[in-house]
Structure 1
Amino acid sequence: MRIRSAGLLAGTAALALATACAGGGQETDQPQGGMVIWADPERTAVLEPFAEEFGEANGIKVDVREVAVDTIQADFVTAHEGGSGPDVLVGAHDWIGNLVQNGAIDPVQLPQEKVDALNDVAVEATTYDGRLYGVPYAMENLALIRNTALAPEAPETVEDLVETGSRLKDEGEVQEILGLQVSQTGDPYHMQPFYTSAGGYLFGTGDNGAPDPSDLGVGKPASVEAFERIAEFGEEGEGAFKRSIDGDNVGSLFTQGKTAYFVTGPWSLAAVQEAGVEYGISPVPGFEGGEEPVPFVGVQAFFVASGSKNKVLAEEFVTNYVTDPELATALYEADPRPPALNEVAEKVGEEDADVGAFTDAGANGRPMPAIPEMDAVWDPFGKAQAAVIGGADPKEAVESAAEAIREEIG
């Protein structure tokens, strides 16, 4: 599931954790004359044979170290500060602003022909302040998965979805109109398509096309109007958006047939298929008369650590091995998400209709902002959304969130 940028750990406890992850108390994570790659559990096993091949070709030992997905970013920054970090990091593109701010990664010198071979949105996502900081290998975005036995047709609007979902609920076929994780503290990632369809935005766009932290959309009239529209479908309205539905129960609601609709990403496909649900995939619908929804696009990438003691080899691995179709295919097979390498994406799309459907669902998506200021948005904005869905005044909730965000950004 999509993981938001983690807050940085601090102090000696964090350094101890980073060192433990890096190799059981070693002073450095880099074996002399070798290279170290940090990856999450899903990627580690896939990378090992390619790392071994790279090591043999270059006469070095390459270790792939497994680090927990929910701590890897913080551990990396802490290890970097202590001089014990890896040479290569595998992670999410929205970490880039924080990693650059901490001087933990270097720009990647990728030849233009290799850049052209990658998905444009993936390249945009890994570009920060005009420079490419990572080589992308996979993409993800939200879509609407529906139970085709209950809802044969893809809804064109939120109103269409709610009409069908409400009828099914009234007939006792389902328990919930929609499977959308909201939770008691909100979930801006999953609400983004609806927020943007209702006219809201988080940050404006600067002249360079990047998010502009000086233009905060939260708190502006458009965001208030967006929250008012969202409130219409909340607990005191149509009842489609509910705080009782969260990341812990939303998947089972769908796989157990308790809702016909599920807003989620490709990470949920395995569970849906295992449950034997007949399903279809389509874009998350927008509100009738509203804007086209703009879901977040997340990108997974390889980064070169600025503190690498083997930087030439690290750059060689990231620029040449990561852009190799064989590795891109292996990473896809381990975790089926749309590949960033166009050649592999086209091949996979021909063989797997689900990948093509998710790619189509994200066609209007934009990269999740990688600027450090985005960290200030998640908590207050999510809580404001949850409050409005629960019946709070939209204007008061949005303006309060905006004040908290501005105070944090400074």
Structure 2
Amino acid sequence: MNRSTRQRLTAAALTVVVVATGTSACSSGSGDTSAKGAGGGTYSIWDPYPQFDKSSAWAKLLDDCGTEAGVKIKRTAFDTSDLSNKALLAAQQDNSADVLIVDNPVVSTLAEAGVLATTDENMLDVSKVDPNLLAAGQSGGKTYGMPIGANTLALYYNKKVLTEAGVDTASVKDWKSLTAALEKVKKAGKKGITFSAIGTEEGSFQFLPWFWGSGAKLTELDSPEGVSALKLWTDWLKKGYAPNSVINNTQTTSWQEFASGDYAFAENGTWQLANAEKAGFEYGVIPVPGASGGNAAAPTGGEFVTVPVQGDTGRYATSQKLVSCLTSTENLYDTDTTLSYVAPTSEVQDKQVAANPQLKPWVEAVKAAKGRTSDDLGTKYPKISEQMWKAVQSALSGAESPKDALAKAQSAAH
């Protein structure tokens, strides 16, 4: 490995630490990082799912795909942020896993560091993947993996609260009608909307549907459109439509507020579906509306299955078989059901909705969704995101106006 590649890997390691996804709640875990088995009969797979042990359906699928490819699988599970850093370290030592399943915002960081092989090199067929989902795994005009599934954000609503306030969700089509609904809810003595605006990636993740829904771009944080999105949130707080607690809310604590039964709406993700079923009240889901109507682009969460660069390129053929098996139509359906993900292909999405009609609004949200590193932002995204969440915090706390907060953010990020 040449010196410039090592330098890129070191720089990328610093970037990866910053990008911590706010989209999935995994239990902590650690794995065995020893070298992969010799002789080519053992292939190593690293994943960010420590919550699934050896007896899980996921672990069984990995073994089954190994059997189909004629090899033995050595699986190691890490926490999301830990996995990214371990992947960079392994690449420096020329000891990368054969298959790496990694959080989608990190794909471009690893790709730019020279860690991942392109789909042209490893012959992965990504032709069936929805282009908006595949974009999160693209950098510099090249594709570096296959999404295993996607989750995203939408608005959960409490049917009883809205009915008592005289709100029909069919009327909520844009920001104006949503704000009018919140006003009615408050007048009826209930609470409006809760979300997470914490000063971390989770806060940026939750602000993005409103930011993108305004027509704003991440390259111009302080555009009039971007300012309008932040003003929407600050106005909601001023009028009491959203609680001051959003400034410190994670997506988990925000969900707990909604689960109390007092709120009309909550911005949250696909991963809360099981909790929604246990909430004890009737709920529904609608996509986050755009400023002037239509569905806002919400950010995609979820992982990509990638193939790291190998000194022995002869391993790619088997790695390609493993990835193709993991992302086949049949296996995607089973895996995405386990992970509460929407599949990355229309074929499997249709199958999911047929089996569970409640997934329909989520499929619509995912079809409108966008990768955080799309628009070829790549490794620029973490810096932009950090300045964005700082601006959100500053405006919501009343320290600065939305316009001034985003002007400062734009200056610092670009």
| TM-score of the superposed pair, with normalisation by structure 1 | 0.81
CA distance in 2, matches of 1:347, 1:120: 19
2:44 to 25, 31, 36: 36
Change (3 A) 1:248 1:332: closer
Residues 248, 123 of structure 1: alpha-carbon distance in 2 compared, 3 angstrom cutoff: closer
Q: Does 1:23 align with 2:25?
A: no
Q: Contact between 1:196 and 1:292, CA under 8 Å: does it hold in 2? A: no
Identity of aligned residues (%): 18
Shift of 1:218: 1.6
**Does the 8 Å contact 2:342/2:362 carry over to 1?**
yes
Report the secondary structure of 2:160's partner residue.
Answer: coil
Residue 154 of structure 2: aligned partner: 143
Q: Is the 8 A contact 1:30 1:87 kept in 2?
A: no
Specify which structure has the higher proportion of helix.
2
Whether the 8 Å CA contact 1:7–1:74 is kept in 2: the answer is no
Between the aligned partners of 2:222 and 2:84, the Cα distance in structure 1 is 30
- 2:150–2:302 contact (8 Å) kept in structure 1: yes
AA aligned opposite 2:208: Q
Structure 2 matches for 1:95-134, cutoff 5 A? 95-109=106-120, 114-134=125-145
1:297-353 deviations in Å (ceiling 9; x for gaps):
3342210011375333112211x2133222112212211221113322111111112
Question: Taking structure 1 as reference, are residues 358 and 298 closer, same or farther at Cα in structure 2, changes over 3 Å only?
Answer: same
Q: Give the aligned residue type for 2:198.
A: S
Partner secondary structure for residue 277 of structure 1? coil
| Residue 64 of structure 1 pairs with residue 75 of structure 2 | yes
Evaluate the alpha carbon distance shift between residue 276 and residue 401 of structure 1 in structure 2; reply closer, same or farther with a 3 A threshold.
same
Structure 2 residue matching 1:305: 3-state secondary structure? coil
Per-residue CA shift, 1:265-294, capped at 9, x if unaligned?
10111111122331111111234x478622
Contact residue 124 and residue 320 of structure 2 kept, 8 A: no
After superposition, the C-alpha distances for 1:50-106 in whole angstroms (9 at most, x for unaligned) are 332343344432112111123211221122212333111112222121001111110
Matches within 5 A, 1:190-209: 190-202=206-218
When residues 336 and 227 of structure 1 are mapped into structure 2, their CA distance, relative to the original with a 3 A threshold, is: closer
* Contact persistence 2:15–2:109 (CA under 8 A): no
- Pairing 1:256-405 to 2, within 5 Å after superposition: 256-287=260-291, 289=292, 293-307=296-310, 309=312, 310-318=315-323, 320-370=324-374, 371-391=378-398, 392-405=400-413
Tell me if the contact between 2:46 and 2:100 (Cα under 8 Å) persists in the aligned partners: yes
Aligned-partner Cα distance in 1 for 2:220–2:214: 13
What amino acid does structure 2 have at the position aligned with 1:354?
Q
3-state SS in 1 of match to 2:343: coil
Q: Distance in 2 between matches of 1:148 and 1:76?
A: 45
Structure 1 position 197, deviation (Å) = 3.1
Q: What amino acid maps onto 2:352 in structure 1?
A: V
Structure 1 residue 114 displacement after superposition: 4.6
Taking structure 1 as reference, are residues 8 and 96 closer, same or farther at Cα in structure 2, changes over 3 Å only? Answer: closer
Deviation by residue 1:3-40 (Cα, 9 ceiling, x = unmatched): xx994469xxxxxxxxx94526x3x2445431010112
Q: 1:95 is paired with a residue of what secondary structure?
A: helix
- 275-284 or 58-67: which moved more? 58-67
Query: What is aligned with 2:177?
Result: 160
Tell me if the contact between 1:198 and 1:290 (Cα under 8 Å) persists in the aligned partners.
no
SS in 1 for 2:126: helix
DSSP 3-state at the match of 1:261: strand
Letter in structure 2 aligned against 1:293: A
Q: Which amino acid aligns with 1:307?
A: Q
Residues 230-261 of structure 1: CA deviation (Å, up to 9, x unaligned): 4333x334543642443342111111202121
**Structure 1: which 5+ residue stretches go unaligned?**
11-19, 203-215
Point out the more displaced range, 106-115 or 150-159.
106-115
Q: Is the 8 A contact 2:96 2:309 kept in 1?
A: no
Residue identity matched to 1:23: D
Q: Structure 2: any 5+ residue segments left out of the alignment?
A: 1-12, 19-28
2:118 and 2:124 map into 1 onto residues whose CA distance is 17
Deviations 1:127-172 (A, max 9, x none): 3222221012212221111011222532223343344334434444
Name the aligned partner's letter for residue 401 of structure 1. Answer: A
Higher mean displacement: 39-48 or 295-304: 39-48
Q: How many residues align?
A: 373
